[in-house]
Amino acid sequence: MKIALAQLNNIIGDFDGNLAKITDAVADATSAGAELVVFSELSICGYPPLDLLERKEFIHTCKQYIEKLATLADPATGVLVGGPEFNPNKGGKLLFNSAFFLYEGKVQQVFRKSLLPTYDIFDEYRYFEPNRLFSILEFKNRKLAVTICEDLWDEQPFENEFSRSRLYASNPLEELAAFGPDVIINMAASPYSHRKMEVKQSIFTGKAARYKLPVLYCNQVGAQTELIFEGGSMAINPSGHVAAKLPFFREGILISDLDELIASEPSLSLGKIPGRIESMADALICGIKDYFGKLGFRTATLGLSGGIDSAVTLALAAEALGPENLHVLLLPSQYSSDHSVNDSVQMAQNLGIKYNILPIESLFNEFRETLQVLFKGLPEDIAEENIQARIRATLLMALSNKFGNILLNTSNKSETAVGYGTLYGDMSGGLSVLGDVYKTDVYLLAQYLNQEREVIPVNIINKPPSAELKPDQKDIDSLPPYEVLDQILEAYIEKQLPLAKAEEMGFEPKLVSRIIKLVNMNEYKRYQTPPILRISSKAFGIGRRLPLVARY
């Protein structure tokens, strides 16, 4: 029996577009000899649909398109497609998160998700009722255990101190194993995290080895607002080794012969995971490309400062959108160094990107003159620094409004965490590209992007980071070295370690306390930032919900 995994990049709510992709994939897989075609979780409507699931007409539309798919697909080919399903029972939530088995022109059987995650970005129990009744799919003289994403994640490691060996009390696969299946199928929408690639693969290889069954894992690919899905769908043999895998961040179809998969020999090369920084760059490029493409945007802008963050953002955007679709502004003040302007010009020319230089010194002086009635006799401080950032944002937004160029935010995670940025200034934008990338990783990204040729001038990478908002300013004047800061931030944000545990890492207690205080007191700033492309296990945004008004 040949089973195809169709790894697609759907658009949430684009029923006609999603149906066309799915029917084309079924046709292609059928032509290649597949007898069953498997799609990802909630593939008919796109994942995650969030509160669209609270609209009954949305669920009715999902049902109509699943039924339409059943009539369009080759009647001799089985199809497993994901979608929401009304709960037929009187009690419980309105919906199930389901997998529909289509064959011979109609829905033959339905399988429902049992484990509903409510951690980080997930809030599935808000919408769905958990499945408690288990059944097997018998097709072509084979028994198939159909699972949906989290149903294979009952055991998973967490980074924080509340880690448990078992996240859930139930084990769906143990229930399905009682039916004696020949293969485990997992339909997933599992988002990318740059430190979780190996962990994710080990979940599936571990299940295959434990139950001595092949595992077919079909994951969604592409970005949905801030969430990025890497795909990486794979076939795993009963010994727990990857026998075949689809590329990361690209659509594709993988066809596996079940008999050959069961008999396949281990291959270490097929299970190889790409480097962390390489996959991070690919994820961010995918995130930019899909955010623009799915919203119908085409062109972008940013303020090219001569610093590492704007340089890396520009290099990624050029790869995602094409240099011809970028128009950047250089906005020097009297505090900007000549090399910052020269480096920025060099980078724009390296990539063939249109740029303009608009000095802001005269505008800044006009602001200061106007504010003299309020500020007379007071020394210049952060107020004047923020005025410069907001002047720059005003000019960038003027270009955006006039020509439709979406402003890309260039703040990194380290700065965003401690509030080292100006609201309505350099924290403005339609999309934050680096808001989940620590500064130390920004430098690694720059080096990676320069592997084949010097895209980012070396001087930008080598010079000390500075906001250049006052004379001789350096980041290190206000913050510890980023090599230290980022370790403290990751311990507190991703690993959620308490103060005492962070201090045990060997950092000065007063420094740790100050950094944690800065993180906590700047939550209000992050609440007003643009969507941040998520590439870690704990990004700022929907996966990290903290009260703005609190004394903890």
Cα–Cα distance between 70 and 103 in angstroms, integer? 7
The answer to whether the CB of 139 falls within 8 A of the CB of 175 is: no
> Strands, DSSP E only, in 220-306?
221-224, 227-230, 234-236, 242-245, 252-257, 300-301
Q: Which of 35, 41, 129, 230 is catalytic?
A: 41
Q: Is 62 designated active site?
A: no
Set 45, 149, 218, 286: catalytic member = 149
286 flagged as catalytic: no
Name the β-bridge partners of 146: 185
Q: Judge whether 43 and 9 are in contact, CB under 8 Å.
A: no
3-class SS letters over 32-90? CCCCEEECCCCCCCCCCCHHHHHCHHHHHHHHHHHHHHHHHCCCCCEEEEEEEEECCCC
C-alpha angle 151-256-70 in degrees, rounded to nearest 5 = 70
Closest to 163 in 3D by CA, of 496, 386, 413: 496
Strand partners, 474: none
Amino acid type, 337: S
Which amino acid belongs to residue 298? R
Beta bridge partners of 207: none
CB neighbour list of residue 183: distance below 8 Å, 6 or more residues apart: 3, 142, 143, 144, 145, 213, 214, 215, 216, 258, 261
**Residue 495 annotated to the active site:** no
Pairing of strands 106-112, 137-139: unpaired
Backbone conformation region of residue 441, classed left if phi is above 0, alpha if psi is from -120 to 50, else beta: alpha
HEC string for 81-134: EEEEEECCCCCCCCEEEEEEEEECCEEEEEEECCCCCCCCCCCHHHCECCCCCC
473: enclosing H helix or E strand: none
Instruction: Please pick, among 113, 245, 294, 525, the residue that the annotation labels catalytic.
Output: 113
Distance, in Å, from the CA atom of 228 to the CA atom of 222, rounded to the nearest integer, reads: 6
Q: Output DSSP code: residue 219.
A: E
**What distance in Å separates the CA atoms of residue 82 and residue 99, rounded to the nearest whole number?**
4
* Cα dihedral 68, 73, 75, 79 in deg (nearest 10): -90
Q: Which pairs count as long-range contacts for 276-281, CB under 8 Å and 24+ apart, including other chains? A: 276/194, 276/195, 276/197, 277/441, 277/444, 277/445, 277/448, 278/448, 279/192, 279/194, 279/197, 279/230, 279/248, 280/194, 280/437, 280/441, 280/445, 280/535, 281/316, 281/445, 281/448, 281/449
Torsion sign across C-alpha atoms 469, 470, 472, 477: negative
Cite the active site residues.
41, 113, 149
